[in-house]
Structure 1
Amino acid sequence: MSGFGENVCIENLTRQLHATVKMVWPTLQSLRYMGSIVQTTKLGYVYDLLFQAGVVKVARRKNGAAHLPGLPRVIAETFAKSMLPVRNWCIVYDMPLDTALVELAQGHGRAVDVFAVDFPSVAENVYGFKDVRKITCHRENLLRRSVEIVWDDEANRYRAQLAGFPDLVGWGTSWSDALMHLERAAKIKRRIIALESLLK
């Protein structure tokens, strides 16, 4: 089934996504900015994406965000809602955890500046200022393109192909199965296109 498996296209696109994330990260240097490009507000997901791409070397911890000594409650709750432990947030920005906790509690320092970028509305309420910069990118609405679904005798399954994108193929044992895999691939491709637009 080499080349015909349901996951081949998705695996190839995922590798391309990770390579693109690695290229774009030095320009963005912000979890929130990266999240806005890949269209998620959960910074924990963005961290996982950075880990999978090899940008950060430590996997995300699944707990421990809300029980660090000295961390203001509203800040702890903000990290918990974003599914990102403070320890991992510090890893992304190469900040010592102890120093970051002190700065977040006292309301000044690099940790507060970075927090204002990643959590602007909370920073405005807690610290009185926020980061107002926005990142713009090109978005391609792939789900509005035509799709062709055909039976492939060689693969012995259906192939769903997105018009204008030969690398977007979904394979399946039924129309719906092939289309589901194509939709998953299209979502990854859309993120790649948005990230690549920042490199131009």
Structure 2
Amino acid sequence: MPFALRPVVVALGAGVIAVALASASTTAVFAQANKAAPSAPSAAEPAMKEITLTDKQIQGVLAAHKDVDAIAAKLPDDQDTKPDPKILAQLDDAAKKHGFASYDEYSDVVEAIGMVLAGMDPKTKTYVGPAAALKDQIAAVEADTKIKAEDKKQALADLNDALKNPGPAVTNKTNIDLVTKNYDALSAALEEDD
């Protein structure tokens, strides 16, 4: 995957995580869905690939995410704008500082974690798949009487749109087991990024 596209893919992964990690509070579900429901990848966007995670990589993401996110925030929002090479070098350095070969490797690991988190049920902390997780969030928003009607309508539209292309199901049991084992730490760390 081209280096310049990494922030876009990480942002998409964060969107998937944002929707997937909504807490049991349905107001939080609404807030997360309203912020970033995943969208269908365009033809120009590469599909996320499933790699086999290691415990060392999970711990590396937990250690690196604040450093990497602070630097990535300096990148232009417009994906057509070429990122500053100095910022890209800083991203590489931050990833290397935490045990990754490069920012590309860090991004691949975050994508793999995001794929699992997108299919987790936050109540039971078990992997149910991205479609089932979205359906649970839809049911929670529908049942919430505290959300204003217009906000509820928008949240449901966003979640139903995401349900049209919920993302791939994770087939690698090792990844599911590692993310489940580290679910609380990953949820807390990656929710901070929203």
Greater share of helix residues, 1 or 2? 2
TM-score by length of 1: 0.24
Give the TM-score normalised by the residue count of structure 2. 0.24
Considering only CA atoms, is the larger Rg found in Structure 1 or Structure 2?
Answer: 1
Greater RCO between the two (CA within 8 Å, min separation 6)? 2
